[in-house]
Amino acid sequence: MKHLIAPSILSADFANLQADVEMINESNADWIHVDVMDGVFVPNISFGFPVISSIFHHAKKPLDIHLMIVNPDKYLEDFKRVGAKILTVHYEACTHLHRTIQAIKSLGMKAGVAINPHTPISVLEDIITEVDLVCIMSVNPGFGGQKFIEQTYEKVRKLCILIREKESDAMIEVDGGVSHQNSLALLKAGANVLVAGNAIFSSEDPSMEIAELKKMRVDTLEV
């Protein structure tokens, strides 16, 4: 399967959010990645329901919503209402993860689970066949523009092995510090969804940056 690109609007220009969403609409991007932070699970606060609803109003690409919040179960229906197509919760925030995943699916959304950099792949063994996506955090969650954690490559490889062993259909998404410097290696390791924020929105031509990330091919990587 051709890999997907999900620009993270956490790095967009909030004063011109509509314009940036429209740029993504016309680009080679596949999803729009929306980080939701509550100031409790992570030390930052981002988008609320009115802003996400406005993004959805202008979006032509599916909203890939990543919840970095405590008690996500309280808000699943709300995120469905404001347009989430893919809804990802953190393993570290869910006491009853299986129940949460099933609740997301019952609302008609694809269900994802995210893990922090310090969380091992092994915790996913009992849930990997239930989820549509695993989001590996390649920075500590909370802020954009952080340095990529090199151990991520090995985590992606380990997750690939687990997915094969369990015969899961889960996609592997990498979120944090993704750029031209590491995207090919991530794809080679087994990632198939790349979330990029600062690399896209700090470039002179964000749409071209998306196109460059999209056209990368694993078979062009030197081994």
Residue 130 burial class via C-beta count within 10 angstroms: exposed 0-12, middle 13-18, buried 19 and up: middle
Q: Do 211 and 27 contact (CB within 8 A), yes or no?
A: yes
The vertex-201 CA angle with 33 and 151, nearest 5°, equals 65
Nearest to 104 by CA among 124, 128, 78: 78
Q: Which of 38, 64, 132, 175 is catalytic?
A: 175
71 φψ region: left (φ > 0), alpha (ψ -120 to 50), beta (else): left
Phi, psi of 66 (to 5 degrees): -110, 110
Distance in angstroms (rounded) separating the CA atoms of residues 151 and 174 = 12
35 is known as an active-site residue: yes
Please identify which of the residues 20, 35, 38, 132 carries the catalytic annotation.
35
Mutual angle of helices 17-26 and 206-215, in 10-degree steps: 40
Give the Cα separation of 26 and 97 in Å (integer). Answer: 36
Residue with tokens 């690939």: 160
User: Residue type at 70?
Assistant: V
Catalytic site residue 169?
Answer: no
Q: Which residues are catalytic?
A: 35, 175
